[in-house]
Amino acid sequence: LPKGVLNIVTGPGETVGEALARHPGVDKLAFTGETLTGKEIMRAAADTLKRVSLELGGKSPNIVFADADIEEAVKGALMGIFFNQGECCCAASRLFLETKIHDKFMDQMVSFASKMRVGDPLDPKTEMGPLISEAQFNKVMDYIDTGKEEGAELACGGKSMESDGYFVRPTIFDNVRNDMKIAREEIFGPVVSALTFKSIDEAIESGNQTPYGLAAAVWTKDIKKAHAAARQLRAGTVWINTYNAFDAASPFGGYKQSGFGRELGIHSLELYTQIKSVWVNLS
């Protein structure tokens, strides 16, 4: 690259990040991170009216209907929440199960999660590594304690490992209510909350009861039902019978407090270009 095309400036957000957000020489900001930080960036950018795009937090609903391929849906649910130790903005942290398949699904998911190999991320046999920092480890453990206090049933996990590093075992809460803190707030760790529903309308209503809207998933063999759910879910990405599928041509971004603007695809180019009208009198 020619000199000056790419400049990397490192440092904490309250100094480097704020300076970039406020500087009149910066025309566009793109931020990926926590929702509260995104709000601070918008406030800092307001004085110069620079363009901002934000890809923020999520509390994504993963909805499994009774007519789904249960084995595939279990695999998808495990990948959706335990990929990258749950430190993923679109993590499937709310698992909605149709009542009639709840017991069968939970038995399979808990069985798999309990056997996951947690340890050194450089070991090829490891299936889940440590959290990013001590602060994040403590935050996740606090949420787990809160889930227990709120009356959710701890189906597996819920504890750290007795080893060096910030390891948290894959954690599944059952019998969760949508108004519980563990179902409302982004934990950003390997913790999933399981809830039940009886109809597609109930699933959609409960899935949308969140300030976030980054992603969602629907598992069913009925494609009409899948598309009906996808239309009504307020999320920037809806996966059908899969999870964490991405492509450079497909835009990614959120609704509501998950941010605005889209990464990837042609829509991302619109964030970094301006439209100009030029009129010429040829007479």
pLDDT at 281: 97
CA distance 84 to 190: 8
Name the catalytic one among 14, 72, 88, 89.
89
pLDDT for 84 equals 95
Q: Is 55 a catalytic residue?
A: yes
Residues 219, 217: Cα–Cα separation, whole Å = 7
* DSSP designation for 168: B
- Give the mean pLDDT per block of 10 residues along the chain (283 residues): 90 90 94 93 94 95 98 97 95 97 97 94 93 95 96 92 86 96 96 97 97 97 97 97 95 95 92 93 94
Which residues make beta-bridge pairs with 171?
A: 191
In order of 105, 159, 195, the CA distances from 137 in angstroms are 28, 11, 25
DSSP 129-159: ---S-HHHHHHHHHHHHHHHHHT-EEEE--S
| Residue where the block lists tokens 């949508």 | 178
Q: What is the pLDDT of residue 24?
A: 95
Among candidate residues 64, 29, 18, 13, the one with its CA nearest the CA of residue 226:
64
Asked if 210 and 234 count as a contact pair (C-beta separation under 8 A), the reply is: no
Alpha-carbon gap, residue 219 to 90, rounded angstroms: 17
Q: What is the pLDDT of residue 144?
A: 97
Would you say 236 and 276 are in contact if contact means Cβ atoms under 8 Å apart?
no
pLDDT of residue 163: 75
Residue 162 has a pLDDT of 73
* Predicted TM-score (pTM) of this structure: 0.92
Q: What is the pLDDT of residue 133?
A: 94
Model pLDDT, residue 161: 75
The residue annotated as part of the active site, out of 55, 98, 186, 263, is: 55
Q: Are 159 and 147 in contact (CB under 8 A)?
A: no
* pLDDT at residue 14, as a whole number: 86
Q: Is 90 a catalytic residue?
A: no
Amino acid at 30: A
The span from the CA of 176 to the CA of 280, in Å, is 65
